[in-house]
Structure formats: C-alpha cells, structure tokens
Amino acid sequence: MLENKSIGLVLSGGGVRGMGHIGLIKAMREHNLEANVVAGTSIGALVGALYANNNTVEEMLDFFKKVPLFQYSFFTINKPGFIDTERYASIFKKFFPENTFESLERPLYVVATDLLSGKEKVFNKGQLIKPLLASAALPPVFSPVDIDDILYADGGIMNNFPKEYVEDKTEFIIGSNVSVTVPLQKKDLRNSFQLTGRVTSLMIHASNDEKLHECDLFIEPKELDQIGVLDKKGIENAFNIGYEHGSRALEKMLSKI
C-alpha cells in the first residue's frame, strides 16, 4: 500500500518524551518505511533533523544522551531565561557540520515562535542550527534565540503538531504526539506550578488533537505521561514506549492490507 506513496512524518514537542519519536522511527525502518518529508516542533524538530540527516537510531539516542540539559557554564543572567540556549550551537555543529537545511537528506520544516509578532515561523532553508535551538527553547528555562534581530522561542507555544507543512507534499502522513494528557486527581493540582503545567498541557492537547487524528497513522502513548519533560533518566524508557506503540500501530495497519 505504501510502496509507491510519498510519506510525511510529523513530530510533536514534549521534551524527553520525544525519545518516543525515535522509537517510532526504529519501527518504521524495521518495516522498510522511510518518510520523504519531515515537520517537527521543539524536540520533534531536533529528532526530525537527525532523521532528515540520515542518522541511525543509535546516533539519535547518543545525541540526546550527550547533550547536557543543565550545563552550569550555560546559565545566564544577561538574557531572559535561565540557560543561554545559543551556547548549545557548538555541540550541535558536531552533528550538523554544514549547518544548512539544504545539506539534509530529506526536506525538513521546523516551527518556532516569533515572540515579537506573536506568530509562528517555519524554517526550511538556510542556516539550520539556530532554528533548531529556537524551536526547542522552552521558556522560561531556555533563553530565546536571536535570528535576524528577532527573538524566537519554542514552537510548541503556537503549533505543537505542524502537520500542515507536509499535507500538500505527501500522500500518507504518520504522526507522533508525545505531549500527552491523562486524567488527574485533585491531589495533583495543589499549587500554582502544577496548575500552570496542567493548563498548558490541556491547551496544547486541544490544538493538537484534531490534526493528530487526521493522520493516516499515528501514535500517542499515554505511558509517556510518567516521564518528566526534562528528565534525562527517562530517555531509554520513552524510546522503548515509542517503539512498542509504533510497532503495534504499523503491524495493525499492514495486517489490514
């Protein structure tokens, strides 16, 4: 069914839970499926870039294991945000030495938020690393990224599931959403931080949900809710969850053919 169809891959934001995207990619490759076009936000943009760069699954996981989330020397008092996001550029350069969208093996669409105009911005040509950093710059932890005198932050603020950028370019769309929401109990909403996190999660879910269900195949593993967004200890677990869900979804689809 898919041999002669072009495939689009859409990857949401969601922090460390985004390792589930890599699990899905492993399942796709085991079923001899490769995407022709990729679109991603935040962690989805980073995974998407590695995939578009033809990195192996092992190389993708190694990237996230090696990149420090909270490098002491990256903390800043001169920028809005606790960590200077642009300090990660030298680390990214090791994985993307040519630093251009054009050097990738597949077209990639990266979404970031223009904090000045309040609109989303999609990057798909020219320099690669700064748009990737901007797309994953989650406020207030990471500082916005300056590109051409405009400050950009996490793409998930405006569009956490950028399906529209692959719709008119492909015939079959595979989606992976790792920004999951599950029912809570009253004890889980005891303070302002928990309340803010819950409201933000629900807002993102509401904007994602319809687009996700429009995909020809998608995964949305609820088990990822148990993994902290910035908890690097959850990398392997999130990857395995994504792989299991991806394998089941693909096998179910292929069994119907």
**C-alpha 172, offset from chain centre:** 19
Give the dihedral of Cα atoms 23, 28, 30, 32; nearest 10 deg. -160
Using DSSP's 3-state secondary structure scheme, residue 120 falls into: strand
Q: Which position among 12, 114, 143, 154 bears the catalytic label?
A: 154
Residue 121 to residue 62: CA distance in whole angstroms: 29
**CA-based nearest residue to 40, from 155, 197, 205:** 155
Question: Active site includes 73?
Answer: no
How far separated are the first and last CA of the chain, in Å rounded? 7
Residues in the chain: 257
Residue 159 to residue 155: CA distance in whole angstroms: 6
The token pair that represents 51 in the structure block:
């995939």
Question: Active site includes 154?
Answer: yes
Question: Burial letters for 228-239: b for 16+ Cβ neighbours within 10 Å, e otherwise?
Answer: ebeeeebbebbb
Q: Which position among 12, 42, 176, 201 bears the catalytic label?
A: 42
Give the dihedral of Cα atoms 119, 123, 47, 143; nearest 10 deg. -50
Q: Which amino acid makes up residue 197?
A: G
Active site residues: 42, 154
